[in-house]
Amino acid sequence: MSSPTLRVIADRSRCCGYGLCAQVCPQVYKLDADGLVYLDSDIVPPGLEDEAREGAAACPAEALAVEAIG
């Protein structure tokens, strides 16, 4: 059984630059020059679902959400 496709929603206005998301899952969460999160793609690559969820959960500002889209 394949995992559902996941999408990450990043609310940059809530990001405080802790960087925990990028430490947990650097393949999905990137930090810009100001230390704020950004995404190369909002679609989580196959095999990184658990790490993406953990990265979002690690955000103390609750700026990240992961949702299934398929």
Domains detected in the chain? 6-68 (3.30.70.20)
Please tell me what DSSP assigns to residue 45. P
For 40, residues 6+ apart whose C-beta sits below 8 A from its C-beta are: 30
Q: Which residue has the tokens 């960087």?
A: 19
Q: What is the pLDDT of residues 21-41, one digit of tens each?
A: 999 999 999 999 999 999 999
Beta bridge mates, 8: 66
Please tell me what DSSP assigns to residue 43. B
What is the mean predicted confidence (pLDDT) over 8-13?
Answer: 97
Q: How far lies 57's CA from each of 1, 33, 37, in Å?
A: 25, 23, 14
Give the global pTM.
0.92
Rounded CA gap, 57 and 70, in Å?
A: 21
